[in-house]
Amino acid sequence: MDNQAIFDKANEVFEKVVGFRRHIHKNPELSFQEYNTSSFIKSILDEYKIEYRAIANTGVVATIGADRSKCIALRADIDALPILEETELDFASANEGVMHACGHDMHTSMLLGTAIILKSYEAELNGTVKLLFQPGEEVLPGGATMMIVEGVLENPKVDAIFGQHIFPDAKTGTISFCEGRAFASTNEIYITIHGKGSHAAQPHSGNDPILTAAHLIQHFQTLINKKRNPLEPGVLSITSINGGNTTNIFPEKVELKGTLRTYNEDWRQEMVKLIGETTNVIASLHNCTAEVNIVTGYSPIVNSPIETQKAKQIAINLLGDDYVYDYEPRLWAEDFAYYLQQVPGTFWLLGVQPHDKDFLPPLHNSKLIPEEKAMITGISMFVKTVFEYFKS
Ligand SMILES: [Zn+2]
Ligand SMILES: [Zn+2]
């Protein structure tokens, strides 16, 4: 298929895809509860006679193509976030307190649009395409590992996988790539400091968990500065602190939450150990005790160099030099990481910022309105990648 034919096809399905997107946007469902979203995806696949099976409870994997000599997987995530939407769109969330603020509505719709186009070229495909509609990207343990455990990368064996995420910082019509380390690993940190409550005027009769928490937070900044190789990116951020409710009483306890992010697995393990050990030391200095719970989050995304270069060349050929960029590695996290531990592939970012704007609210923001036209680029790139990959 030449570029013009791909764009023509993408434009042809665009109106339909916008319809899908608005329907999904209006009816968002939280991670692992995507029952209606899953039914909706299946209904579209049924309509176009595309084969599929249910996977990971609310996930769906569709298959197109009879030639089993090569297999390529394309992935979209389907879950929404616990955010109260403030866009005032006429297709804004009808499920109050839940919003597609991470663009997964667009990811899902683009993959459906891609499926419709590829189905119409099924006889010409020199390989099999698997379309992964993945549940639960936003919460641990993530739907990717569940899909992998349930065999999504087998039978036929997937040779390469590609995924895309909307990117509010880049203009509509652009795609950005990152070779190697792209997104970080995460650990969620939960700490409770138990002290002894007392009157604020009699601090000597209690053990103050608030002062302990203050020392602890500063100590974490020391850890990140002194126990990290300055050439290795990493953050240890405390993002929530809760304790006490009035002016004249020291509370019994303080709760802290935060995140640890890095690309380096060894340093990650070392930090998990250090956070636990030193929290207990600092708590005991203040005659308090600490409960530390560090939950292991996603692994880092490492994009395969060969697949990234290939995809980037495909994008340049399709969109032209001016629309293809490199993105800086960032400390975001995404469970696409787990597919990349099994098969080579790459995760690219799709610009969704209108050309007449110089700012869009970031991902996970209640006012985020990505430009729908970007879906033409996303669909075209998926289709082109499939054809080029099967050619080589
Ligand atoms: Zn997200
Ligand atoms: Zn996302």
Element (H, E) at 354: none
The pair of three-digit structure tokens given for residue 229, joined into one six-digit string:
């190789």
| Tens digit of each residue's pLDDT (9 = 90 or more) over 342-381 | 999 999 999 999 999 999 999 999 999 999 999 999 999 9
pLDDT band at residue 185 under the 50/70/90 scheme? very high
d(CA 30, CA 97): 10
- Looking at the predicted structure, is the pLDDT value of residue 79 above 90? yes
Look-up: residue for tokens 């652009």? 174
Phi, psi of 201 (to 5 degrees): -85, -5
Question: Distance between alpha carbon 298 and the CA centroid of its chain, in Å?
Answer: 10
Point out which residues pair with 259 in neighbouring strands: 188, 237
| Tens digit of each residue's pLDDT (9 = 90 or more) over 222-281 | 999 999 999 999 999 999 999 999 999 999 999 999 999 999 999 999 999 999 999 999
Selected from 3.40.50.2000, 3.40.630.10, 3.40.50.2300, 3.60.130.10, the CATH number assigned to the domain covering 3-183+300-391 reads 3.40.630.10
CA of 364 to the centre of ligand 1 (A): 6
Question: Are 110 and 375 within 8 A, CB to CB?
Answer: yes
Ligand at minimal distance from the CA of 336 is 2
Average pLDDT over residues 205-209: 97
CA of 390 to the centre of ligand 2 (A): 28
Q: Where in the chain is the domain with CATH 3.40.630.10?
A: 3-183+300-391
Point out which residues pair with 60 in neighbouring strands: 54, 133
Burial tier of 330 (Cβ tally within 10 Å: 0-12, 13-18, 19+): middle
Question: Are 135 and 39 within 8 A, CB to CB?
Answer: no
Q: So which residues are the catalytic ones?
A: 79, 137
Look-up: residue for tokens 């600092």? 282
Between strands 71-77 and 59-64, the pairing is unpaired
Helix (H, G, I), strand (E, B) or coil at 207: strand
Question: Are 91 and 27 within 8 A, CB to CB?
Answer: no
185-296 architecture in CATH? 2-Layer Sandwich (3.30)
d(CA 244, CA 250): 7
% of residues, the chain, pLDDT over 90: 99
Q: Where in the chain is the domain with CATH 3.30.70.360?
A: 185-296
**Which residue type, as a one-letter code, is found at position 289?**
T
- What's this model's pTM, rounded to 2 decimal places? 0.93
Residues with CB under 5 A from ligand 1 (ion): 102
| Tens digit of each residue's pLDDT (9 = 90 or more) over 141-183 | 999 999 999 999 999 999 999 999 999 999 999 999 999 999 9
- The whole-number pLDDT of residue 392 equals 75
CA of 14 to the centre of ligand 2 (A): 22
CA of 287 to the centre of ligand 1 (A): 40
Please enumerate in sequence order all residues whose Cβ is within 8 A of that of 197, keeping only pairs 6 or more positions apart, or say none: 206, 249, 250, 251, 252
| Tens digit of each residue's pLDDT (9 = 90 or more) over 1-24 | 899 999 999 999 999 999 999 999
The pair of three-digit structure tokens given for residue 93, joined into one six-digit string:
């969330």
